[in-house]
Amino acid sequence: MDLSTITGLLLGAGCVAVALVIGGSFGAYVDPVALLIVVGGAGAATLTSVPLRRFFRVHKVSLKTLLHRCITPQEQIARLVSLSEVARREGVLALEGTLEEIDDPFLVRGVQLAIDGADAETIRMVLETELDVLVERHEAGRSMFEQLGRYAPAFGMIGTVIGLVAMLANMDDPSAIGAGMAAALLTTLYGALLANLVFLPLADKLAARTTEEVRVRSMAIQGVLGIQAGDNPRHVESKLRTFLPPRSRVEGVLRQAA
C-alpha cells in the first residue's frame, strides 16, 4: 500500500474540512447540484475524449496508484544477483525451480526465456516490447487523470455562471441573493478542490510510478541478459548498480569490500 498517496489525500481533505468548519457552518459548503455539475461534467468531457473501455478502467488505475508498492532497486538487485548465483553455480536450467518464488511476471518471463535457450537479442526484444506496452498503458491512465483535472475547474466556472444567471433571474427576492451567490460559487470551489487535491496529484503519482517501474524493469532486462550470458554475479551486480544514485553505488562497493 502506498502510504504517501493515502496520507496526502486524507491530510489535504482534513485541512480543507477543518478550514470549512472554522470558517462557518460545514453544511453551507454542501451542495449536491454543484457537485453533480463538476463531477458529471468533468466525467462526461473525459468520456468524450477517450475510448469507452479505457474510461471505465479508471478505477483500476486509481487503485494501482493508491495500493501498489513497486519493488525497490536495491531489492531488485538482490533478487537478480541471487538468480545469477544459482545460474552460475548450477546452470541456467536450475532457475526453473525458482520461478514459483518470483512474484514479478515480467521477471518470470525473462528468466523463462533464458531457461528456454533464447538468444540475447530475442530476450531483449520481447522484454523491451512488453515494457513499452506497460509505459503506454500507464500513460493512458495518467493522461485521463490530467484531463479530469483540467475539466473540473472549467465545469466549476460553468456551474458558477449557471448559478449567477439563476440568481439574477430571481432578483425580486433580495433575501435569496446571498444564498444564491454562495451556491453559485460552490461549483468553483468543488472544481478547484477536485482538480488540485485529487485528479492532478494522482496523475503526478502515476507518472512517478511509471518512472519507478521502468527503472526496475530495465534492471530486470539487464540482469536476465547477464544471467543468459553466464556473467559472474559480481559483474551482474556492478552493472545493475549503475541504475542507482552515486551514493548508493559507493555504499554497495564498500559493503562488498568489507
The three cell numbers locating residue 126: 520481447
Residue 253 has pLDDT above 50, yes or no: no
Average pLDDT over residues 62-86: 83
Mean pLDDT score of the chain: 84
The three cell numbers locating residue 107: 521477471
Query: pLDDT > 90: what percent of the chain?
Result: 33
Residue 209 has pLDDT above 80, yes or no: yes
Question: pLDDT value at position 83?
Answer: 92
Output 31-36 pairs: Cβ under 8 A, ≥24 positions apart. Answer: 31/183, 31/186, 31/187, 33/183, 34/159, 34/163, 34/183, 34/186, 34/187, 34/190, 35/190
Amino acid type, 57:
R
Question: pLDDT value at position 104?
Answer: 87
Are 95 and 87 within 8 A, CB to CB?
yes
Average pLDDT over residues 68-94: 88
The three cell numbers locating residue 47: 468520456
- pLDDT: is 89 or 171 the higher one? 89
Residue 258 has pLDDT above 60, yes or no: no
Question: pLDDT value at position 257?
Answer: 40
Question: pLDDT value at position 38?
Answer: 93
Residue 101 has pLDDT above 50, yes or no: yes
Residue 183 has pLDDT above 80, yes or no: no
Packed helices 233-240 and 200-229: angle between N→C axes, nearest 10 degrees: 150
| Beta carbons within 10 angstroms of residue 36's beta carbon | 13
**pLDDT tens digits for range 143-163:** 888 999 999 999 999 989 888
Are 51 and 143 within 8 A, CB to CB?
no
Residue 47 has pLDDT above 60, yes or no: yes
Question: pLDDT value at position 107?
Answer: 92
Residue 255 has pLDDT above 50, yes or no: no
Residue 248 has pLDDT above 70, yes or no: no
Most confident of 47-61, 120-134, 174-188, 230-244: 120-134
Are 215 and 71 within 8 A, CB to CB?
no
- Position 170 confidence tier, pLDDT thresholds 50, 70, 90: confident
Query: For the chain, which residues make up each domain, given as ranges?
Result: 1-30, 31-257
Are 110 and 221 within 8 A, CB to CB?
yes
Question: pLDDT value at position 52?
Answer: 82
Q: Is 43 exposed, middle or buried (0-12, 13-18, 19+ CB in 10 A)?
A: middle
